[in-house]
Amino acid sequence: MVPLMAGMLVGGWLPEGSARAQWPAWRGSHRDGHSSQALPSALPTHLIPEWKIPVGHGYAGPVVDGGTLVYVDETGGREMAHALNARDGKELWRTAYAAAWSDEFEPGPRCTPLIDGDRVYVQSAQGELSCLALKDGARIWGMSFAELGMTWNPERQSNVGAAIRRGHTGSPIVDGDRLVVQVGSTNNAAMVAADKRTGRILWRSLSEHTSYSSPVVGTLAGRRQCITATCEGLVGLDMTDGTLLWRVPFKTHANRNVLTPILAGDRVIFASHSTGMRCIEVIATNRATATDAPGLVAREAWFNKSLRINLPTPVLVGGHLYGVGAGKDFVCINATNGVVTWSEKGYGDVANVVTDGARLLVLCDSGEVRLLQASPTQHVELGRFQACGKTYSQAAWAGGVLHVKDPGTLAAWRLLPAPGNAKP
């Protein structure tokens, strides 16, 4: 840990009269791409970043809580966590938490950090989870996936496992006092829950490899559960003890399940690049099946084989999904039946989406940001600007500012007026 700015209150700066700026985790506070803060109805003219700093390589996006921004990168052969003052981009502290790792793609961490209260959780590509103090980056506790039975697979071209040979990408999640993480061990530790304060293991579940997907937590058919995609399929685990509640088995090419499951009531929507998009409905029942526990059963509500989405997870707004489809088209999908209602060309292979429920901010892999109306009937663009270079990192929307990261820079773009200012 290297403190860089003494005497500054981490998390203490907030624009006067504003609500707390938050984008604390992968895809926001609720892991669904939604923000409680409104997006602009139009983009400001003559945009320049409020600040811009050089950073190291890595796919992970930044996170923000109050006046603190945290990002991770590769610095000097280490995976490094950095905390910044979100107002001016000045570094508060940095902490190395694991050795850096790379394949033929970009080096550096792939897991977006998670801020929860006074702590931040970071996870390395090769399976080292660390809990750090948000105020100064001090390490509080850690977890080694190898000690839980994960065996690293150096054969990158094999189809054995996914995260264990190409780097852990799925970000951990906190629900109440529990932190759930994808370990990828076939020794009854594919998924592990720990006490978020101490790191004490609360339960271990499943003996199978995990994919690149990030888990979500929700209440479906009256049961609080963790929903995630392993290399074997989509599963729901009881949050209390990790019991397998239901499973929808499917295998994909190279075990590459990437999307984050999308929750819609008692339904789960998921897609992969080789199987298409499917909607699973979880219902209460008194009978058990070969793949479901007594009390719950999962059945397919619809399946669209043509929606073979590779990397980005769509957002759900008003009964429709918005995101990149099977190609480079941006699509709108009726979440009730899986029918595509419109598509628009020219969005690239990856487009990460932030929404306020009325509009969409789309960060394309070219680094261009587009503001759209969330219309289920037609593509309506409200503006665009170039925010960074080529990127696959999720942007963070907090305090009226869009924070974007590419392989060499991190920048803050103010899109809504600061309190007390008529214009940004």
* pLDDT higher than threshold 50 for residue 4: no
The 10s digit of each residue's pLDDT in 246-296 is 999 887 777 778 899 999 999 999 998 888 999 999 999 876 565 655 689
Burial zone of 300 (CB within 10 Å; 0-12 exposed, 13-18 middle, 19+ buried): exposed
Q: Is residue 76 part of a domain?
A: no
Q: Residues 312-324: what's their mean pLDDT?
A: 97
Distance CA 103, CA 101 (A): 7
Q: Residues 67-88: what's their mean pLDDT?
A: 97
The 10s digit of each residue's pLDDT in 213-227 is 999 999 999 999 999
Q: Residues 40-66: what's their mean pLDDT?
A: 95
Q: Is residue 277 part of a domain?
A: yes
Strands (E) across 87-134 are located at 91-99, 114-116, 119-123, 128-133
pLDDT band at 16 (very low <50, low <70, confident <90, very high): very low
The 10s digit of each residue's pLDDT in 367-386 is 999 999 999 999 999 999 99
* pLDDT higher than threshold 50 for residue 18: no
**pLDDT at position 101:** 86
Q: Is residue 171 part of a domain?
A: yes
Q: Is residue 71 part of a domain?
A: no
Distance CA 270, CA 239 (A): 20
* pLDDT higher than threshold 50 for residue 8: no
- Percent pLDDT > 70 in the chain is 91
The 10s digit of each residue's pLDDT in 127-180 is 999 999 999 999 999 999 999 998 877 776 777 776 776 778 899 999 999 999
- Residues 6 or more apart whose CB falls under 8 angstroms from that of 5 comprise 85, 90, 91, 92, 93
Q: Is residue 331 part of a domain?
A: no
Q: What is the CA radius of gyration of the chain?
A: 20
**pLDDT at position 150:** 85
Domain range holding 149?
A: 145-307
**pLDDT at position 164:** 73
Q: Is residue 218 part of a domain?
A: yes
- 166 three-class SS: helix
CB atoms near residue 41 (< 10 Å): 12
Total number of domains constituting the chain:
1
- Residues 6 or more apart whose CB falls under 8 angstroms from that of 7 comprise none
Polymer length of the chain: 424
Q: What is the CATH number of the domain that holds 174?
A: 2.40.128.630
- Residues 6 or more apart whose CB falls under 8 angstroms from that of 76 comprise none
Q: Is residue 278 part of a domain?
A: yes
**pLDDT at position 23:** 97
Distance CA 10, CA 22 (A): 14
**pLDDT at position 10:** 37
pLDDT band at 231 (very low <50, low <70, confident <90, very high): confident
Q: Is residue 7 part of a domain?
A: no
pLDDT band at 421 (very low <50, low <70, confident <90, very high): low
CA 201, distance to chain mean position in Å, is 23
| Mean predicted lDDT score pLDDT of the chain | 90
* pLDDT higher than threshold 80 for residue 313: yes
> Quick one: tokens of 107?
């080096």
**pLDDT at position 275:** 87
